Structure 1
Amino acid sequence: MAELRGPAVPPRPLDARALAALAANPGCRRRALLDGAGVDKPALATALGSPAAYGQSQFAMVRGNSFEAKVKADGGRELLRLVAERLGGPAAPAPEDALLPDLTAAGPEGRAARTALALREATAAGGWALLDHPLLALEVAGTPAFLEPDAVVVRPDGRWTVVEIKSFPLLDGSADPAKVGAAARQAAVYALALERTAALVDGASVDHRALLVCPKDFSNLPTAAPVDIRKQRSVTRRQLDRLTRVEELADALPAGTSFDTERPREELTAAVESVPAAYAPECLAACELAFHCRDRARAEGSVTALGRGVRGELGALTTVGAALAAAAGRESDPQDPTAQALRRAARLRAEALAEAAARGRAEDPAGPGADPGAAVPAPRRTEPSPEDPA
């Protein structure tokens, strides 16, 4: 893996956002390899000449950090109150009655081990505990990933709840569905990582609901809503299990392949193109290499640039040229259902255009070649009469 990154290049760690995006597109071997090897994809995209304007602005990050600090202030009093109020169960404790374990340790492995120990101790104590930015370990395609949720709350009944703190508002109890969905997918990744530890602790279980904490309406007051993540957990688990191991992907590469950004652009491009990608327009919101992959898909005329829905409908027709040829009745099996549907769609489109053109000629008696301004005579300018009071 170090040879793929380049000499003296530290690995870029995986986070929950990257894992959620990877699980949403498990067929992309390019992303699986680059993420598994710890390649710096933003730097790679810049070296390829296709930098991505991706990520939060500095203002959004400062606002988010400020809101998170407010939610966790006073020993997490407000956060614990929201957990008890929105998820039910025992009443929220006083701040002095809740455990706030120290999770500091050397290195990610040490922090993950310290987090696992704190979870076991809090569950055995049978009370409330708030773990602020714990570190969880999850193996992805044979590569360990260390994940850091905003918080995990241990409740007296042994349930572990993932807490996601976001700076987008909850307006009248609801928020942008796309943002809520992204938060749910990230929480599902954290829940999967927690399941490994919970399986080794008596009486522990991972809550199937995550708590989404956001500003209320247009204020800076925190409010919360439970989010059922069972579907996201099952989908993410299945997709991550399907990922090919990084070692298998690396073994299939040509000898000497490297993604070191110090190499010439031509060599980098050849290295990236040696790994198959599965581009879709959704990648633009989740992957730093999306612009490079989109340009390649467009240059090759691939139907993947039109979206997964179009790609699925076209079946064996993988290029735009092949689809147009099938619609025109050329170079395709006349009995192919996809080709028949395309020919019918092309015929209906031609008929609709002909009807629109005929309707336009009927509504414009001057004809298509006439001057539009000539059909309306210009007003004649006259001098006012002496009787005109103006």
Structure 2
Amino acid sequence: MSSYPPSGPPRTTTLRQRLADLRGPAVPPRPLDARALAALAANPGCGRRALLDGAGVDKTALAAALGSPAPFGQSQFAIVRGNSFEAKVKGDGGAALLRLVHLHLGGAAEPPGPGARVPDLTAAGPEGRAARTALALREATAAGAWTLLDHPMLALEVAGTPAYLEPDAVVVHPDGRWTVVEIKSFPLIDGAADPAKVGAAARQAAVYVLALEKTAEKLPAATVGHTALLVCPKDFSNLPAAAPVDLRRERSVTLRQLDRLTRVEELAAALPEGLSFDPQRPAEELTEAVAAVSAAYAPECLSACELAFHCRERARAADEAAALGRSVRGELGAFTTVGEALAAAAGHGSPDDPAAAALHRAARLRAEALQEAACRC
């Protein structure tokens, strides 16, 4: 049996205390990074992820305690290849990278010269690095010269606490515009890349744009570009190529989801007192705790969320149609389970329901096609 809710009168707690109780008394909060915030934007309807990330729960440890660990992370080969490519792109004082930015997003500005500015962003701790980055951005904007910020540290307040984000690079243009640069190891083949990977990179870059906008609020001469530059290997070589990526849609979606995270108190208040996601608790209790928060599983979660395997198992056990994918779920209309859809395909749905009629017709056509194939054999 579960150990919650506890006996006795209910406790009144602050939000910080409540979130600490959800993590576990001895569990430090896991800081949010750009990848986690981008994943929130990819699935804005998932209250489970919003609450767990807002509370700083270590979802990797939670998934392992639930018995459904997710094999996240790149291979060592991919990490080495990515680091080697990034070093090549930023070599020689970032000359190649600045040329790509000027070529694709430079506008009427003069091309960067050989002595472009690359300020030192070294400081103690993430707070110090964020302050040093903000100072470098102000100085570069005032100087009106091409400036490359290599791995700057940006701060963005999320759910009342600062999240520290580290983009690959930020370029300051002579006109005061700031451009986010994402360097990835997947290839640009004939000028195009895998749409799913480009989408993930765009969502991540949108988080950096939001953080830069907070810094730019105090600088009237600065503007944050809503077009990032994606730099990847050209075709199957190690030569850098680039493509601009419009971030306006991703920025809007991410901003809405971050606004939702700032109301994480509402999600926490709906849970029973004493509920905890502490990985040290028994798996049965953790399963019940996770089930108390609504989820919106889709197959895309498998590449973005540590709890995806657990949520997939539960979605399949509940016969949820969403487990087949968002596009399939959208086509099924009012049918929320696979069983309901199969019943409609068998002719047991309402004839006035367009989805039921379409499923029944599709099932009839499939049966006819199979029968014709069997006769030809």
User: Does TM-score exceed 0.5, indicating one fold?
Assistant: yes
Equivalence for 1:265:
283
**Residue 174 in structure 1 maps to residue 227 in structure 2:** no
1:91 to 93, 101, 111: 111
1:92-125 superposed Cα distances (whole Å, 9 cap, x missing partner): 1223xx3333333343333323322221221112
Q: Distance in 1 between matches of 2:80 and 2:33?
A: 20
Please state how far the C-alpha of 1:269 moved relative to its aligned partner: 0.9
Please state how far the C-alpha of 1:56 moved relative to its aligned partner: 0.8
Please state how far the C-alpha of 1:242 moved relative to its aligned partner: 4.7
Please state how far the C-alpha of 1:296 moved relative to its aligned partner: 0.7
Larger deviation, residues 32-41 vs 61-70: 61-70
- Where does 1:101-180 land on structure 2 (aligned, <5 Å)? 101-180=119-198
- Where does 1:370-385 land on structure 2 (aligned, <5 Å)? none
Equivalence for 1:73:
91
Equivalence for 2:9:
none
Distance 1:350 1:2, change over 3 A: same
**Residue 279 in structure 1 maps to residue 279 in structure 2:** no
Please state how far the C-alpha of 1:161 moved relative to its aligned partner: 0.7
Distance 1:7 1:352, change over 3 A: same
Distance 1:349 1:299, change over 3 A: same
Spell out structure 1 runs of 4+ moving beyond 4 A: none
Q: Distance in 1 between matches of 2:190 and 2:361?
A: 47
Q: Percent identity?
A: 79
1:219-249 superposed Cα distances (whole Å, 9 cap, x missing partner): 3333333223233323333444455722111
* Amino acid corresponding to residue 46 of structure 1 in structure 2: A
Does the CA-based 8 Å contact 1:48-1:265 persist in structure 2?
yes
Aligned length: 357
Equivalence for 1:343:
360
* Amino acid corresponding to residue 357 of structure 2 in structure 1: Q
Please state how far the C-alpha of 1:68 moved relative to its aligned partner: 1.7
Larger deviation, residues 238-247 vs 18-27: 238-247
* Amino acid corresponding to residue 66 of structure 2 in structure 1: L
Q: Distance in 1 between matches of 2:335 and 2:189?
A: 45
Equivalence for 1:43:
61
**Residue 53 in structure 1 maps to residue 71 in structure 2:** yes
The CA RMSD measured in Å over matched residues stands at 2.1
Q: Distance in 1 between matches of 2:85 and 2:240?
A: 8
Does the CA-based 8 Å contact 1:26-1:240 persist in structure 2?
no
Does the CA-based 8 Å contact 1:185-1:232 persist in structure 2?
yes
Does the CA-based 8 Å contact 1:142-1:245 persist in structure 2?
no
Equivalence for 1:292:
310
1:233-266 superposed Cα distances (whole Å, 9 cap, x missing partner): 2333344445572211111111111111111111
Specify the SS of the correspondent of 2:155.
Answer: strand
Q: Distance in 1 between matches of 2:230 and 2:342?
A: 47
Distance 1:176 1:341, change over 3 A: closer
Larger deviation, residues 300-309 vs 121-130: 121-130
Does the CA-based 8 Å contact 1:122-1:154 persist in structure 2?
yes
Equivalence for 2:7:
none
Q: Distance in 2 between matches of 1:231 and 1:3?
A: 36
Q: Which has the higher contact order (CA 8 A, sep 6+)?
A: 2
1:104-154 superposed Cα distances (whole Å, 9 cap, x missing partner): 334333332332222122111212222111122223455532211011011
Equivalence for 2:35:
17
**Residue 358 in structure 1 maps to residue 375 in structure 2:** yes
Equivalence for 2:52:
34
Distance 1:216 1:256, change over 3 A: same
Q: Distance in 2 between matches of 1:82 and 1:297?
A: 45
Report the structure number with the largest CA radius of gyration.
Answer: 1
* Amino acid corresponding to residue 56 of structure 2 in structure 1: G
1:237 to 255, 275, 293: 255
Please state how far the C-alpha of 1:320 moved relative to its aligned partner: 1.2
Larger deviation, residues 293-302 vs 222-231: 222-231
Equivalence for 2:211:
193
Does the CA-based 8 Å contact 2:233-2:241 persist in structure 1?
yes
Q: Distance in 1 between matches of 2:375 and 2:262?
A: 57
Normalised to the residue count of structure 2, the TM-score between the two structures is 0.87
1:187-216 superposed Cα distances (whole Å, 9 cap, x missing partner): 122112212222221111112321222233
Q: Distance in 2 between matches of 1:63 and 1:29?
A: 36
Equivalence for 1:304:
322
Distance 1:212 1:120, change over 3 A: same
* Amino acid corresponding to residue 366 of structure 2 in structure 1: R
Larger deviation, residues 49-58 vs 102-111: 102-111
Equivalence for 1:208:
226
Show structure 2 runs of 5+ residues with no match: 1-18
Q: Distance in 2 between matches of 1:164 and 1:123?
A: 21
Equivalence for 1:365:
none
Specify the SS of the correspondent of 1:13.
Answer: coil
Please state how far the C-alpha of 1:7 moved relative to its aligned partner: 2.8
* Amino acid corresponding to residue 222 of structure 1 in structure 2: P
Q: Distance in 1 between matches of 2:144 and 2:262?
A: 40
1:19-60 superposed Cα distances (whole Å, 9 cap, x missing partner): 122111111011111111111111111111111112211121
Q: Distance in 2 between matches of 1:219 and 1:314?
A: 44
* Amino acid corresponding to residue 368 of structure 2 in structure 1: E
